[in-house]
Amino acid sequence: RAMSSFDFDSLIRAVADFPKPGVTFRDITPLLADAGGFARCIDALAEPWQGSEVQAVCGIESRGFIFGAALAQKLHAGFVPLRKPGKLPPPLVEVDYALEYGTDRLTARADALRPGERTLIVDDVLATGGTLAAARELVGKLDATLVGASVLIELDALRGRDRWPAGVPLQSLLHY
């Protein structure tokens, strides 16, 4: 179900029972491989933030890098990778977050964002919201100003949006 006039949905493949039984995996690779579709996707993700004076786009490793880097270019902003543990050299800021089984960690360079820098967080999918919450905490630890977040896909039934502050814009291009 798309909120844009372009049919992004036809370029996202639903794969039943992956990575485990009962889960429907949303495969974005056909969209990425479609030159026009990918371009229009980045246009649509950028559109709500034109005029928001975004200075930095934080993309979440790994699928958030794909959309975040392209969006940074479109918004004439810098790109900051929020990375999994062991990938960036110190000094770092770090946030641990819960997964369905166990925990994970997001890291950023301690000087990755300037205090007050107007920052947008980008990822491919909002599921339970744990990843986006961790990214938001990381942006806060860096004393940057959070403008909002953009995701390509929001999985409504998992209620990830409930973990996002109501006063901060969170934009999803597609809802499943």
Q: Active site includes 63?
A: yes
The verdict on 161 binding Mg ion (CB under 5 A) reads no
Give the Cα separation of 135 and 36 in Å (integer): 30
Give the Cα separation of 176 and 26 in Å (integer): 9
Binding mask 134-163 for ligand PRP (x = CB under 6 A): --------------------------x---
Alpha-carbon distance values, 12 to 56, 152, 153 (Å): 28, 11, 10
Q: Active site includes 94?
A: no
In the complex, minimum distance from the CB of residue 116 to ligand PRP, in angstroms, rounded to a whole number: 26
The verdict on 128 binding ligand PRP (CB under 6 A) reads yes
Alpha-carbon distance values, 55 to 6, 37, 152 (Å): 28, 25, 20
* Given 31, 54, 127, 139, the residue binding ligand PRP (CB under 6 A): 127
Residue 129 interface partner, choices ligand PRP, Mg ion, none, CB cut-off 5-8 Å depending on type: ligand PRP
Contacts of 156 (CB under 8 A, 6+ apart): 175, 176
The verdict on 63 binding Mg ion (CB under 5 A) reads yes
Residue 154 interface partner, choices ligand PRP, Mg ion, none, CB cut-off 5-8 Å depending on type: none
The verdict on 131 binding ligand PRP (CB under 6 A) reads yes
CB burial readout 1-17, b (16+ within 10 A) else e:
eeeeeeebbebbeeeee
By CB under 6 A, which span of 21-29, 30-38, 85-93, 129-137 interacts with ligand PRP?
A: 129-137
User: Number of helices and strands (H, E) in the chain?
Assistant: 4, 9
Closest to ligand PRP by CB, 64 or 148: 64
- Give the SS3 label for residue 44: helix
- Active-site positions? 63, 100
